[in-house]
Structure 1
Amino acid sequence: MSEHRLHGEVVHLARRKDGGGKLLQKMLDRRHEREIRRFDRARTVDDVRALWRESLERGEIPGAYWAAMTHPATDWTLVQDIFGEVHMLSHLVGQSNRADIRRLRQLEIDLAEREERIAAQEARIHELSEQRDTLSARQRASEALQSVTRVTATRPDDTSREAVQSLEARLARECAHAEALEEKLAILTESASRLSHDLAAEMARRKVVEAELSTTEAVMTVHNSLDETGDAASKPRFVCDLTGRTLLYVGGRPRQVAQLRRFVEARGGTLLSHDGGIEESRTLLPGLVNRSERVFFPVECVSHEATALVKRFCEAGGTPFQPVRSASLASFVHGLSSV
């Protein structure tokens, strides 16, 4: 059964009031028991809304979502607000993931094409090597024959002289052909080396894209498996909690920077931004760097001059800086994993 069909079956089951619906209710209550107990202290709809806001800022969404939706004090207005926030957050992350998935698939196609070209080049190099060896053997045989002819023909007649001249002309042609093949072999060997280097670079870039996608998915993954003792071994690998943090983003595109700011603010942080000197003065950079705990800049969407200034100001003030691969949300979230 596919995940979509399984989802539909569970939704159909939830609408029923028989034993299956009750079992589903009990299963969800057990899974999110910790959040339900935390929401039990809420007495009014405002209390429920405040607890929901706290969970949203920490990124602990699934358990808080179930606890808030099933709380007796939750009214229809709060249900619509909570559902709308989760729905729009899924759009924000889904849009970035789809773009990165498209780039990843294109990288896979490019890698396959490069591998085919390298295989063809290697086959051609092997063929030319065999031709060179054959010509070298023929050249050695011709030289040996020419030597024997010169020794035995002390007084060559016209016929033997023509034969020697023919052999010498043939030897010259074979030598020229061998030199041409060696030159072509050197060119193809250099081309294969460049293709191998490009292939390695593309594979490294693919690993970075996969890491960014994995980190982005981890932010939206359910991390409510902690027991009552708070066992450290069951804690998630990466929780995107930016409460009280101030970050600076230099470069990028205005619309994407606005998305990044909403992402950071939804997790309790503050994101300052500077376009790298396109419209904003670069004299503002030192003050922004001093106000920030860490500076990010997308290497593909910021000028070299702005990058050099940011690095210099960060090193002077002891502020960490983090270059990210692109201006996408996935690259930014992956960069946040080191904060």
Structure 2
Amino acid sequence: MESPMSLLASYKHGQPVFMNALSLPVPSSPASGVQDAGRNLRRKTWDISPTFHCSIVGTCLTTTELRQVLAKLDDTDLKRASDHVLHSRGVRAAGQRDLAGKLLNKALDRRHDVMIKRFARLSNPDDIRQLWLECLERGEIAGAYWAVVSHPATDQPLLQEVFGEVHMLSHLVGSSNRLDIARLRTLQAELDTQAAKIRRQEERLGLAATERDSLLQQIEALEASLIQAQARVDATEEPRSRPDDAGETLQTETARADNERKRAMDAEAQLRETEKRLQLAERQNSEMERSIAFLEEMLAREASPEKEALSAEEQGIPVLYVGGRRNLFDRLRSLASRQGVTLLTHDGGIEDNNSLLPGLVSQAKAAFFPVDCISHAAAGMVKRLCQEHEKPFVPLRSASLSSFLASVADTSLLPERLTAV
């Protein structure tokens, strides 16, 4: 078997290192001795072709672990280096048989020791490939990748196959992360908008409460004035020595009492109107708070997804969404699917023919439509069709994502409306 130094020398003279590394002998002893022999013959990073160093460092070690390894070299520049610079330094270290390379190799073995022991029991490339596919299916990629690449029995076809899988996964993960970040930014913008509306609503509630208190004080003052005026009227009804003066006083006090009574009635009417506005504001405030809570929950789910969207074979609760903005339909379907809802859409007659609405209503369990983004004709047609089919329809406050998603996810709203449908 060639020494690591001879392998390095052969690479410098133009011969790929991984071809020499693949020539390492595979133990032919019984299974009881395979594990120890395999661990002794496992390839080091400098024995592997530089083509694989980038994927090994980027896949099998986290940035924090790589920084800890290279920090042992007492390199002050690395303490302030960016993740990209740190990764480049780790890739260079992987190809060197010096202190940095040995520390890197030791860190890889220590972190993935359990997975290395699982693969060490195998001595056949087909068996190694089968175990790799099982680990790939379970998402145990980092440890399995290092165990396969460093295994002495891994041949060149298997090495290229495993490298190709990891390479494509890096592209898929990057694309998925970009989509998740875009969704998070959209949801964060919705959350900020809703929070601003909540603040304005709370200010209006405070003003309405102050106005209500002021009206109550005015009513109390008017009632006191009315009582005093009534007392003066009653006093004028007693016998007077001058009948003419008593009659004039009675008329004056009666007119004053009528005026006070009218003012009290106007104040009571104004108070009732203020109370109605206050109740409406409280309902809107409650709806916005539910929207805020749901958006916060969605942000948490997007950051750490626990529930995937329904697959094409799965079926959720069919719900029809009429009107709104067509450019949001795909996003509404994706997010609604995470709530167990299969979303049917119709743009309210802009591009979709209204003749499709009867068939869509018959398929859905309920219909939603935003009151601020739908024609009167389409809204009236949806209401009529839902009444004919005895299905509920839910007018939404707006065509925003938060308004729809809060209504779909509200366990006190949608399930209750969908019962017995």
Q: Normalising by structure 1, what TM-score?
A: 0.58
Residues 236 and 249 in structure 2, CA contact (< 8 A), matched pair in contact too: no
State the structure with bigger RCO (CA 8 A, min sep 6), 1 or 2. 1
- Give 1:122 deviation, angstroms: 0.7
Higher Rg: 2
- Match of residue 141, structure 2, among 31, 46, 64: 64
Residues 132 and 148 in structure 2, CA contact (< 8 A), matched pair in contact too: no
Task: Identify the residue that residue 300 of structure 2 maps to in structure 1.
Answer: 214
Q: Quick one: distance in 2 between partners of 1:103 and 1:204?
A: 13
Residues 142 and 171 in structure 1, CA contact (< 8 A), matched pair in contact too: yes
Q: Structure 1 pair 85/30, CA: closer, same or farther in 2 (3 Å)?
A: farther
**Are residues 1:256 and 2:330 paired?**
yes
Which is worse superposed, 139-148 or 200-209?
A: 200-209
- Give 1:21 deviation, angstroms: 9.0
Residues 291 and 403 in structure 2, CA contact (< 8 A), matched pair in contact too: no
Q: Structure 1 pair 164/110, CA: closer, same or farther in 2 (3 Å)?
A: same
- Match of residue 314, structure 2, among 247, 264, 273: 247
Question: 5 Å matches for 1:1-339?
Answer: 9-16=82-89, 17=93, 47=129, 51=133, 54-55=136-137, 60=139, 64=141, 68=145, 72=149, 73=159, 80-158=167-245, 160-219=246-305, 238=306, 240=308, 246-248=313-315, 256=330, 260=334, 299=368, 326=404
Uncovered stretches (5+) of structure 2, i.e. residues with no partner = 1-63, 65-78, 150-158, 371-381, 392-401, 410-421
Q: Structure 1 pair 172/31, CA: closer, same or farther in 2 (3 Å)?
A: farther
Q: Quick one: distance in 2 between partners of 1:107 and 1:21?
A: 53
Residues 48 and 68 in structure 1, CA contact (< 8 A), matched pair in contact too: no
Q: Structure 1 pair 202/27, CA: closer, same or farther in 2 (3 Å)?
A: farther
1:135-194 CA-to-partner distances (Å, cap 9, x unmatched) read 111111111122123215253344x54344333222221111111001100111121112
Task: Identify the residue that residue 418 of structure 2 maps to in structure 1.
Answer: none
Q: Give the percent of matched residue pairs that are identical in Structure 1 and Structure 2.
A: 19
C-alpha RMSD over aligned residues = 5.4
Q: Structure 1 pair 216/125, CA: closer, same or farther in 2 (3 Å)?
A: same
- Give 1:31 deviation, angstroms: 5.7
- Helix, strand or coil for the counterpart of 1:112? helix
Uncovered stretches (5+) of structure 1, i.e. residues with no partner = 220-237, 265-271, 290-294, 312-323, 332-339
1:89-140 CA-to-partner distances (Å, cap 9, x unmatched) read 1122222222222112111111111111111111100000001001111111
Q: Quick one: distance in 1 between partners of 2:296 and 2:190?
A: 11
Tell me which amino acid in the other structure corresponds to 2:277: S
Q: Quick one: distance in 2 between partners of 1:162 and 1:26?
A: 111
- Give 1:68 deviation, angstroms: 3.8
- Helix, strand or coil for the counterpart of 1:246? coil
Tell me which amino acid in the other structure corresponds to 2:264: A
- Give 1:202 deviation, angstroms: 1.9
Q: Quick one: distance in 2 between partners of 1:138 and 1:21?
A: 95
- Helix, strand or coil for the counterpart of 2:243? coil
Q: Structure 1 pair 128/74, CA: closer, same or farther in 2 (3 Å)?
A: farther
Q: Quick one: distance in 2 between partners of 1:259 and 1:36?
A: 43
Task: Identify the residue that residue 57 of structure 2 maps to in structure 1.
Answer: none
Residues 212 and 271 in structure 2, CA contact (< 8 A), matched pair in contact too: yes
